[in-house]
């Protein structure tokens, strides 16, 4: 996933802003105007007062408010915001005591800041007005808030105290609190309503009939009434197991139901934490399997490879355990040693790995004489922001060739993949076809290339090149822009969305598939290199890439 990041992380589009912010310094510190508990909802009045004060917005003293009831202590700030046209999102009545939503807060801020963008968005919940779409695009472009998923921004979710403080700090360019991670979790909260309810909810439990509902209800009723060991009846356990079984019935290795504890662990991983041995892992048919050992990690130094199966840790079998339980066995404190029982191509052997804190870099650039070697470890924010300037610097040095090394790169953000591909493809080139039940669209490059088309390019891949790595590789291969060297890639070509429920359990569900620009399937297939070179004790793949580029110079 990217989460999708990660692998699952979010499908984002860049938008050019037309005006600068009204102010760059807070007139009043954010912490002085928003003092509520982190998880408490922020009212409309509280947010208006806070944003007006921290931005130093003045004026509106003579404004005539159309609202019936405005608390006297809010009147000055409400008038200033109303005079600036920032309260249109609330309609004919302010209802200052009601909670403010994420979308409403963004509309207020972007109007007060005089910010605009193209009123185009792929988020299903941000299309009710051009004003809302603009506010969402500004927030995405400036990294004020992260969309809850690839198709839902989360505009109707209530803004919490922690989110509000983080938003205003980002608006002011101050960054967030050190531990403020709230807006970085790509989840959509699911709130249930019954038919006829007046609440604004994210999901109506009655919109689709539960399969065999009468049988399930009868089963539970019989168990509650007649099962002899009454003390062993556990309603939560029964419900969670039913949910797990429902998702397992899909037979999709990337779709998972997480109980609350497992959901917290998953969210920590998509926020950047990795296993103590430094490897990306997946549950494949009940077996913990390494997809990619991270570069210069304990796992890589111990010789672990993609598709290695971890079947036991410290003598304890992982068979029959949940994914989270298997991962917890592999994790451990820094400096401790994990004795892993590994199965590779049918053979079993033990490997000792010393756990460590893993910090994942993204970009590494070296030179082989006049050939630039650009290694990407993952597709994250640095790939989005830092790679293009570095590629421009490489182009200024007139390279005789470029090697893009994507070996053991597990992927990341789709937009980061688009940015990487844009260095080598004409503006407006297709990068990936995204196909879901709601339709199909093509992700395209938005910038001119940084590298001259005459500079030859080789892409290195192997079985650990997954997801966004495969998107870039396939796009360059389809466009005949690069020679692909190495081994067949992993074959991860799907998009996941994470939905969080009120009890903090969550669902990670595959919602779309990525295809290459020419429509070639990636999921379960991978990308076949133009020149197949197996991994060996020496780096024959790099040697082959350099030989190809030198041959092109003649």
Active-site residue, 506 included: no
Q: How many whole angstroms separate alpha carbon 203 and alpha carbon 193?
A: 7
Nearest 5°: the CA angle 267, 270, 275 is 95
Q: How many whole angstroms separate alpha carbon 124 and alpha carbon 181?
A: 24
Which residue spans within 94-245 are E strands per DSSP? 187-190, 192-193, 203-204
Active-site residue, 508 included: no
Cα 379 from chain centre = 11
**Looking at 43, 149, 467, 506, which residue is catalytic?**
467
CA neighbours within 13 Å on the CB side: how many for 512? 26
Compute the CA torsion angle 47, 49, 52, 53 (nearest 10 deg): -120
Q: How many whole angstroms separate alpha carbon 208 and alpha carbon 175?
A: 42
Strands 430-436 and 439-444: antiparallel
The β-bridge partners of 146 are none
The secondary structure element, H or E, covering residue 80 is helix 75-83
Q: How many whole angstroms separate alpha carbon 45 and alpha carbon 100?
A: 8
Query: Helix H segments across 468-515?
Result: 468-478
**Looking at 492, 505, 506, 544, which residue is catalytic?**
492
Active-site residue, 170 included: no
Compute the CA torsion angle 194, 245, 153, 30 (nearest 10 deg): 90
**Looking at 478, 506, 508, 544, which residue is catalytic?**
478
Q: Is 127 exposed, middle or buried (0-12, 13-18, 19+ CB in 10 A)?
A: middle
CA 93 vs CA 52, 81, 89, 135: distances in Å: 19, 14, 10, 21
Which residue spans within 345-428 are E strands per DSSP? 347-354, 363-368, 371-376, 401-405
Residues involved in catalysis: 467, 478, 492
């Amino acid at each position: 996933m990217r989460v999708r990041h990660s692998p699952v992380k979010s499908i984002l589009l860049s938008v050019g802003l037309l005006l600068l912010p009204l102010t760059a310094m807070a007139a009043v510190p954010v912490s002085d105007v928003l003092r509520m508990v982190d998880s408490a909802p922020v009212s409309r009045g509280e947010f208006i007062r806070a944003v007006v004060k921290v931005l130093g917005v003045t004026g509106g003293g003579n404004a005539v408010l159309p609202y019936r009831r405005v608390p006297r202590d809010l009147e000055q700030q409400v008038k200033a915001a109303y005079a600036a046209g920032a309260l249109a999102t609330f309609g004919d009545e302010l209802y200052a005591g009601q909670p403010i939503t994420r979308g409403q807060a963004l509309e207020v801020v972007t109007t007060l800041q005089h910010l605009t963008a193209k009123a185009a968005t792929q988020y299903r919940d941000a299309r009710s007005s051009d004003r809302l779409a603009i506010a969402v695009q500004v927030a995405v472009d400036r990294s004020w808030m992260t969309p809850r998923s690839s198709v839902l921004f989360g505009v109707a979710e209530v803004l919490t105290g922690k989110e509000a403080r983080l938003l205003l700090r980002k608006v002011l360019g101050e960054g967030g609190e050190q531990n403020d991670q709230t807006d970085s979790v790509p989840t959509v909260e699911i709130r249930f309503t019954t038919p006829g309810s007046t609440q604004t909810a994210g999901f109506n439990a009655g919109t689709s009939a539960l399969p065999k509902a009468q049988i399930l209800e009868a089963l539970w009723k019989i168990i509650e009434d007649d099962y002899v060991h009454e003390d062993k009846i556990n309603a939560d356990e029964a419900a969670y197991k039913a949910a797990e079984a429902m998702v397992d019935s899909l037979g999709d290795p990337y779709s998972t139901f997480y109980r609350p504890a497992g959901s917290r662990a998953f969210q920590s991983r998509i926020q950047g934490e990795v296993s103590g041995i430094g490897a990306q892992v997946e549950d494949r048919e009940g077996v913990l399997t390494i997809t990619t050992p991270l570069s210069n990690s304990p796992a890589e130094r111990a010789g672990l490879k993609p598709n290695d199966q971890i079947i036991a840790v410290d003598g304890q079998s992982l068979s029959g355990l949940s994914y989270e339980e298997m991962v917890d066995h592999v994790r451990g404190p820094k400096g401790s040693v994990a004795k892993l029982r590994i199965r590779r191509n049918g053979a079993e052997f033990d490997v000792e790995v010393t756990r460590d804190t893993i910090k994942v870099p993204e970009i590494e650039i070296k030179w082989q004489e006049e050939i630039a070697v650009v290694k990407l470890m993952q597709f994250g924010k640095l790939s989005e922001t830092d790679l293009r300037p570095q590629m421009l610097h490489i182009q200024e040095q007139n390279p005789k060739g470029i090697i893009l090394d994507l070996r053991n790169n597990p992927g990341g953000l789709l937009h980061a993949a688009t940015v990487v591909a844009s260095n080598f493809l004409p503006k407006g080139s297709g990068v990936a076809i995204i196909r879901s039940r709601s339709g199909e669209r093509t992700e395209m490059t938005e910038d001119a290339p940084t590298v001259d088309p005459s500079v030859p390019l080789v892409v290195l891949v192997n079985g650990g090149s997954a997801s966004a790595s495969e998107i870039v590789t396939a796009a360059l291969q389809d466009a005949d822009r690069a020679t692909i060297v190495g081994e067949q890639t992993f074959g991860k070509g799907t998009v996941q969305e994470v939905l969080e429920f009120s009890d903090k359990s969550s669902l990670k569900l595959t919602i779309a598939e990525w295809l290459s620009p020419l429509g070639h399937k990636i999921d379960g297939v991978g990308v076949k290199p133009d020149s197949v070179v197996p991994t060996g004790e020496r780096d024959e793949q790099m040697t082959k890439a350099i030989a190809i580029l030198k041959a092109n110079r003649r």
